[in-house]
Structure 1
Amino acid sequence: MAKIKYYYDTETCRYERVRTSTFDMFINITGLLFACSLFGFFFSAIYIKYFPSAEEARLKKENTDLLYSHKLLQKEVTEVTDVLASLQDRDDRIYRVIFEAEPIPQEIRQAGTGGSQKYQDLLDKKLAREDMILSTLSKIDNLKRQMYVQTKSYDEIVDLALNKSKMMAAIPAIQPVDNKDLKRLASGYGMRIHPILKVKKMHTGIDFSAPKGTPIYATGDGKVIKARKSNRGYGWEIEIDHGFGYVSKYAHQSKFYVKKGQRVTRGQKIGEVGSTGSSTAPHLHYEVIHKRKKVNPIKYFSKNITADQYSTLLENASVENQSLGY
């Protein structure tokens, strides 16, 4: 039962009953409801924050697990990238060096796989963490590209390994004339005095002094790609393509025993020493060309001389004298 309230009326000097108007009752009820609603919202927020529903708790845990899994994935991608980089380094510095293959250019190894348009389907979904997802996908695509390039490199190395015996037989590795006494090396590779012009010019081969008719031998297996007779320059010359980027040249000959297109083996007699072309005396001018660049032939005399003989050969070849022909 509601408590009746009174107030003292000074005019009548009597206690009068307090009567509440309908408006006052409305204000009081409204204020009470507002206060209850405010406290209810406040306590509900606290409850939701600290006492989430089972579904919300499950989703929150799932999100936490996904973020943790993504961090692990990023770590795995980094480790795989490091391993691949090590394989690429070994490939360029060891395997391809052993088989004399050119290193793979970095612009090929690091070739891109396309921009963000490749992932347009994901972009259209407007995912909350699309930057994180796209970054990981891009790294994985780059890894796949580099791994593909690396597998093709290994395929090439395997082919080179299988052809190793053929390569060893093909690479020029003996002296083109019988010169075991090492007394017939007239001029080496490098700057030498031209026999006719009497000025220093680059001598791109080695001159072996020998009597006319001395046998000349192929220094490695290969195919004759030139057997030309001329009274100028190299004179009568033969070129043999050994494959694997190697070509050998034999100049100033007096006789041929092979013809263009013929296959020859190391040690096979291909001609005789002469003095044709720009020559001042009977000799063989011998060159080795590797990947279209003329190199010092003395580096390829390894099959038929000892270490001491090779040292003597190097010493004789280093003397800056006059060449017998160009």
Structure 2
Amino acid sequence: MVKKKFSYNPETLCYEHRRDSFGQRALRAGAWTLVSVAVGFGIMVAYTSLFATPRSHVLQRDISDREIALGMLRERVESSSRQLAIIENRDNNLYRTIFEADTIASSIREGGVGGVERYGKYSTLPGGALLRGVAQDIDKLTWRAYVQSKSFDDVSRLAYTKDRMVHCVPAIQPVSVQQLTRLSSPFGYRCDPFNHTAKMHTGMDFVGSYGTPIHATGDGLVVVASMSDGGYGRQVVIDHGFGYKTRYAHMSSISVTEGERVKRGQEVGKMGSTGRSTGTHLHYEVLVKNMPVNPALYFSDVSEEEYENMLANAQIQQMD
């Protein structure tokens, strides 16, 4: 019940009932409304601060779960990074060393994964700092894995080349020890049997019986299989690749054709005495980048002792 208000009227010397104007009543009502709203808002803020709503509780729980999941993901990324570091170390210090390849610098393996703006989108998200860190770690790991994959491609190519080279480089005698009568003229200067002057002998002469099989000393491509216009007689030249060639001269017959691919140990012809020759033998040359080198350096199937015995038993006789 609204209390009535009275005021003293000095003219009538009586207390008279006072009535407020409409404006006064409206102002008073507005003031009470504002106070009520303010008090209600304050109560709501205090309640939501002290007591989470079901929706906010669910959201907070989701954020916590995601932070835990991101933490676990980061641990797995770090574990993978440590395992990759072991592989990188083995690649640099073992695989690339074996194949005589340059190691990959750390600056290349680590590389760059973009500027700050690349990860700016994570800043406004809940747990943005953690998200950004995980994203950076994943990008670094991805780059390192890419570099390592490329390195393994290089090592695979080197291994394939090395395997081919092992089979192609001259590595055996062209005449088996069992069928060899003797070594006649080694590599180096000697007296030419025809003009009796000092002349460089660019190969080695193997003496054996007429028709003794002659074998390719490495895998390769036959580039010459014909009668020589010079003094080599019937000859075969094999290109082994990697800068290596071998020549087999003075043969009685040829067992291969030009353009044919041969394997180490395959017969390429028979021993004879065609061309500029004084007797049955094989003149054998090894050329590296078209320059003759000592064939004895490429006899992996002959021990040092066996080679010394061959030289000791050699009868230095100029055959070509």
Alignment of 1:98-177 (within 5 A): 172-176=170-174
Deviations 1:127-182 (A, max 9, x none): 9689969878877876887787789889x69x96xx97x98666532355779999
Deviation at 1:102, TM superposition (A): 7.8
Q: Counterpart of 1:186?
A: 188
Shift of 1:37: 0.6
- What letter is aligned with 1:218? A
Instruction: Describe the SS at the equivalent of 1:210.
Output: strand
Equivalent in the alignment of 2:238: 239
Q: Does 1:208 align with 2:203?
A: yes
- 1:90 is aligned to 90
How many angstroms does 1:305 deviate by?
Answer: 2.0
State the distance in 1 between where 2:13 and 2:294 align: 137
Does the 8 Å CA contact 1:174/1:303 hold for their aligned counterparts? yes
The answer for the alignment partner of 2:250 in structure 1 is: 254
2:203 aligned counterpart, secondary structure: strand
Rounded to whole Å, the distance in 1 between the matches of 2:104 and 2:150 is: 11
**Number of corresponding residues:** 263
Aligned partners of 1:228, 1:93: CA distance in 2, in Å? 49
Counterpart CA distance in 1 for 2:297 and 2:6 is 127
Give the direction of change, closer, same or farther, for the CA distance of 1:233–1:146 in structure 2 (3 Å limit): farther
Question: Which residue in 1 is equivalent to 2:225?
Answer: 227
Letter matched to residue 245 of structure 2: K
Q: What CA distance in whole angstroms lies between the structure 1 residues aligned with 2:61 and 2:206?
A: 93
Q: What is the distance in 2 between the residues matched to 1:12 and 1:275?
A: 164
Alpha-carbon separation, structure 2, partners of 1:234 and 1:33: 122
Gaps of 5+ in 1: 111-122, 188-197, 199-205, 314-326
Cα offsets for 1:1-41 (capped at 9, x unmatched): 54444444555555444433333222212211111112212
Equivalent residues of 1:210, 1:284 under 8 A apart: yes
Identity %: 22
Measured in 2, the distance between the counterparts of 1:299 and 1:149 equals 36
Tell me which amino acid in the other structure corresponds to 1:259: V
Q: Quickly say closer, same or farther: Cα 1:44–1:12, change in 2 above 3 A.
A: same
What is residue 23 of structure 1 aligned with on the other side? 23
TM-superposed CA distance for 1:60, in Å, is 1.9
> 1:42 matched to which residue of 2?
42
Partners of 1:213 and 1:138 in 2: how far apart? 68
What per-residue deviation string (whole Å, max 9, x for no partner) do you get for residues 273-303 of structure 1?
98989xxxx96430357xx9x9997775433
Structure 2 Cα separation of the partners of residues 85 and 66 of structure 1? 28
Confirm or deny: 8 A CA contact 2:172 2:301 kept in the other structure.
Answer: yes
Change (3 A) 1:237 1:207: same
Alpha-carbon distance between aligned partners in 2 of 1:276 and 1:92, rounded to the nearest angstrom: 53
Q: Structure 1 residue 62: deviation in Å?
A: 0.6
Structure (1 or 2) with the larger CA radius of gyration: 2
SS at match of 1:239: strand
Tell whether the 8 Å contact from 2:248 to 2:285 is kept in structure 1 after alignment: yes
Distance 1:226 1:103 in 2: 38
Match of 2:304 in 1: 306
Where structure 2 has 5 or more consecutive residues not aligned to the other structure, the ranges are 110-120, 190-198, 277-281, 312-320
1:37-68 CA-to-partner distances (Å, cap 9, x unmatched) read 12212331232244221222112211232234
The letter of the residue matching 2:186 is: R
Q: Using the alignment, how far apart are the partners of 1:27 and 1:39 within structure 2? A: 18
Aligned residue identity for 2:43: F
| Residue identity opposite 2:52 in structure 1 | P
Change (3 A) 1:84 1:233: farther
1:73 aligns with 2:73: yes
Q: TM-score, normalised by structure 1?
A: 0.52
* Counterparts in 2 of 1:104 and 1:251: CA distance versus 1, 3 Å: same
Return the alpha-carbon distance in structure 2 between the equivalents of residues 17 and 42 of structure 1: 39
Q: 1:182 to 1:13 in 2, by over 3 A?
A: farther
Letter in 1 for 2:237: I
CA distance in 2, matches of 1:82, 1:31: 69
Match of 1:55 in 2: 55
Give the whole-Å Cα distance in 2 for the aligned partners of 1:270 and 1:309.
24
CA distance in 2, matches of 1:134, 1:301: 58
Corresponding position of 1:266: 265
User: Displacement, 1:225?
Assistant: 5.1
**Equivalent pair of 2:236/2:249 in contact (CA under 8 Å):** yes
